[in-house]
Amino acid sequence: MALTKKGRYWYGSGPDDTRAELLRYSKANACPATRFAESVCACGHRAFRLETDEDAGAARRTCLTCGTVQLMGDSAEFADEAEFGGHECVCAAESFELLSGVALYSDSSDVRWYYLGCRCTACNLVGVFADWKCEAGDAEAFLAAV
């Protein structure tokens, strides 16, 4: 499937489309994402409510099936000072599939920038809903916790 644009927004049908939009966004930010990971709850489901604080550098997802809450990546370090705000799609839904992407420092596996890509499970809108400069260290460990 390919991304299609309606008005200001892009729509897709799965994680590949979210990744394509995340790549486009990160290139425009002059800090291209090179590694990616989908969020999957321990219960196996992939639809989440998402809350973030870009200033604090923290994101929190809540599984819409089982209610499990997880602080994403290294967010636990910053959650105390974070003021989480919920994300709502332009269609008013609050259910998203999440794809995280990170940019790395050159010649390193250390995270430099974090991008949080979303696909609305109601209308298929895809977009980067949050991103921030992130000094999280090893990308593999970071992405294992999204």
Please report, as ranges, the residues that interact with Zn ion according to CB under 5 A: 41, 43, 45, 63, 65-66, 68, 89, 91, 93, 120, 122-123, 125
CB 40 within 8 A of CB 48: no
Instruction: Give 11 or 78: the residue with its C-beta nearer to Zn ion.
Output: 11
Instruction: Give 12 or 101: the residue with its C-beta nearer to Zn ion.
Output: 12
Our CA dihedral for 63, 67, 72, 76, rounded to 10 degrees, sits at 170
Instruction: Give 13 or 29: the residue with its C-beta nearer to Zn ion.
Output: 13
Measure Cα distances from 71 to 37, 46, 63, 79 in Å: 15, 15, 12, 8
Query: C-beta of 122: minimal distance to Zn ion in Å?
Result: 5
Instruction: Give 35 or 45: the residue with its C-beta nearer to Zn ion.
Output: 45
Query: C-beta of 117: minimal distance to Zn ion in Å?
Result: 14
> What is the spatial distance between Cα 26 and Cα 18, in angstroms, rounded to a whole number?
12
Query: C-beta of 71: minimal distance to Zn ion in Å?
Result: 15
CB 46 within 8 A of CB 68: no
